[in-house]
Amino acid sequence: MGDSILIIHGGGPTAVLNSSLYGAVTEAGKYPQIRHIYAARNGTGGLLREDFIELGQLPEEQLRLLLQTPGSAIGTSRDALEEEEYDRMAEILQRRGIGYVLFNGGNGTMDACGRLYKTCLQKGMDIKVMGIPKTMDNDIAVTDHSPGFGSAARYIAQSVREVCADVRGLPIHVVVVEASGRNAGWITAASALAGDGGGDGPDLIYLPERPFDEEQYIEDVRKLLEKKTGIVVVASEGLTDREGRPVVEPIFRTERATYFGDVSSHLAGLVIRRLGYKARGEKPGLLGRASILLQSPVDREEARLAGELACRAALEGESGRMVAFRRLSDSPYRMEPFLASIDEVMMYEATMPDAFINERGNGVTEAFREWCRPLLGEELPRMLSLN
């Protein structure tokens, strides 16, 4: 059996993706039998090109910078893989003496993880393949939540809190903030926590789990404008209408995906055209997954732990599994990690349950707030309003 370990990143980064890398590398470093700690440069493509980065020699003070480095320090990929490429990957792993492979990624990456696991099994190769969950969107099934989400939630909550403080008392009537998560509304919903501890929360929240009804939206905003100004709306980038069509036009198509215009400026434009009020859209976009200062400390620690546990499990002989989290209690926050079968995880998108969405579909419930609150890691900075 191979005595080296390989770490592979797949999909878009999160604010704590590199924290999982830190956890995996430091754990691997504890085993004298591990000869090389490799990373595949830029994801599975790096494995297919045998383009490996040696991480085992890095001093701890360098490694620790991973905890505060956004993006993927070893690159990542979104390559869709052909069936025969799994065969090639397995052969490369065996030839290079790699006995342990850790995949860090979201649903697509867990699919690749499961396929490589099965390929190795079919070929009778003793290669352990483990998954580390990673998604800002929180759409991985089986686990209570995934590393990356807590920081995205903290980012949107603090950002919306700041936007609310800014527009309160200003002659801006309506601000629409666009949140990430095309099919799952978790991040959009987390903006509700802007109102915790003396802050101001958003007035309206529109999630992709509910069809977006333009008439209802205009009515919601119109009613609020009768009473106040400085209205803050948070909307998912993936809003669709009753027929499931995106509310914004496609602007770019590739073989794998279609890209759409900005929901924030579309919704701001509706207020301007239909109600005649000043409105503006804000779209922090990639910043929502890259902000180091708004990392959730709980999220960063769980990300580190997930990397550590996946590495340890592989070295203890586990394979075909992903580290997951089970919630024991909300307050005090207690969580226990466990290993889930990759089969249960693969390609199933977790969206917001009905119990977390209000009846009119323009806000969240207290149950959601209680579930989400501990993931932000610590209270948001306090503010003072005298106005």
Q: Which residues are near a copy of itself by CB under 8 A? A: 12-13, 18, 39, 41-42, 53, 55, 58, 62-63, 65-66, 68-78, 158-159, 162-163, 165-171, 175, 251-252, 254, 259, 261-262, 264-265, 269, 272, 278-287, 289-294, 381-387
Do 235 and 178 form a contact (C-beta atoms < 8 A)? yes
Would you tell me the crossing angle of helices 297-315 and 17-28 to the nearest 10 degrees?
A: 40
Do 92 and 50 form a contact (C-beta atoms < 8 A)? yes
Do 156 and 190 form a contact (C-beta atoms < 8 A)? yes
Output the six-digit token pair for 4: 């080296």
State how beta strands 258-260 and 204-206 pair.
Answer: unpaired
Q: Which is nearer to a copy of itself, 169 or 353 (CB)?
A: 169
CB of 9 to a copy of itself, least distance (A): 9
Would you tell me the crossing angle of helices 83-95 and 107-122 to the nearest 10 degrees?
A: 70
Q: Which is nearer to a copy of itself, 294 or 350 (CB)?
A: 294
Task: Report the 10 Å Cβ neighbour count for 242.
Answer: 9
Q: How far apart are CA 116 and CA 87, in angstroms?
A: 8
Q: How far apart are CA 303 and CA 69, in angstroms?
A: 13
CB of 281 to a copy of itself, least distance (A): 7
Q: How far apart are CA 292 and CA 71, in angstroms?
A: 10
Q: Which is nearer to a copy of itself, 175 or 192 (CB)?
A: 175
Backbone φ and ψ for 333, nearest 5 degrees, come out as -70, 120
Q: Which is nearer to a copy of itself, 137 or 209 (CB)?
A: 137
CB of 95 to a copy of itself, least distance (A): 23
Q: How far apart are CA 180 and CA 182, in angstroms?
A: 6
Q: Which of 289, 291, 311 minimizes the C-alpha distance to 23?
A: 311
Q: How far apart are CA 27 and CA 310, in angstroms?
A: 9
CB of 96 to a copy of itself, least distance (A): 19
CB of 1 to a copy of itself, least distance (A): 26
Q: Which of 87, 126, 137, 262 is catalytic?
A: 137
CB of 293 to a copy of itself, least distance (A): 4
Please, what is the end-to-end C-alpha distance for the chain in angstroms? Answer: 68
Whether 137 sits among the annotated catalytic residues: the reply is yes
CB of 13 to a copy of itself, least distance (A): 6
* E-assigned strand segments in 69-127: 98-105
Q: Which is nearer to a copy of itself, 248 or 314 (CB)?
A: 248
Do 373 and 154 form a contact (C-beta atoms < 8 A)? no
Output the six-digit token pair for 209: 């789990």
Residue labelled with tokens 């993931």 = 375
Residues annotated as catalytic (active site), given as ranges: 137
